[in-house]
Amino acid sequence: MRPSYHLVPDAIWVAADRTTPYRAASLATEGFIHCTDGSAALIATANRHYRDDPRPFLALTVDLDAAGSPWSIEDDAGIYPHVFGPIERAAIVAVERIRRADDGTFIGLWPLDEATAPAAG
């Protein structure tokens, strides 16, 4: 297994069609789905791009080896995989909420309550 995280607004994940592979909006606009290796890098990425966005966000743990689409890492730091196609539902192995401080800063991950969690696959 080759895990990486994908950041998604909660409402978008909940509304996604569970019968088809996952397609982030960036797939249509940029040609790939953004991922981030490591929870600390994910939190830093969330704060860099979405700190002022008040929506709740989720972190999908993606098994890149099972994604069903090619992927590569092209950044110098080697922590931002790009998936060049849809991600198979079975490759999404976990879904976690991203906890925020009162000022909107993302501060950590925590598991969803099993009773209220959107289905991961």
Tell me the pLDDT tens digit for each residue of 58-86. 999 999 999 999 999 999 999 999 999 99
Residue 25 lies in a domain: yes
* Burial annotation 5-44 (CB, 10 A radius, 16+ → b, else e): bbbbebeebeebeeeebbebeebeeeebbbbbbeeeebbe
Asked if the model's pLDDT at residue 109 lies above 70, the reply is yes
Least confident among 15-19, 25-29, 42-46: 15-19
Residue 13 lies in a domain: yes
Locate tokens 């990425």: which residue? 45
**Residue 114 binned pLDDT confidence (cut-offs 50, 70, 90):** very low
Residue 46 lies in a domain: yes
Least confident among 10-14, 93-97, 115-119: 115-119
Residue 121 lies in a domain: no
Predicted local confidence at residue 115, as pLDDT: 41
The pTM of the full predicted model, rounded to 2 decimals, is 0.89
If one counts the domains in the chain, the total is 1
Domain coverage including residue 61: 3-111
Residue 36 lies in a domain: yes
Residue 64 lies in a domain: yes
Token pair of 117, please? 């969690």
Instruction: Residue 82: give its domain's CATH number.
Output: 3.20.170.20
Residue 19 lies in a domain: yes
Residue 48 lies in a domain: yes
CA distances from 41 to 56, 70, 76, 88, 109 (A): 18, 22, 14, 24, 12
116: exposed, middle or buried (C-beta count within 10 Å: 0-12, 13-18, 19+)?
exposed
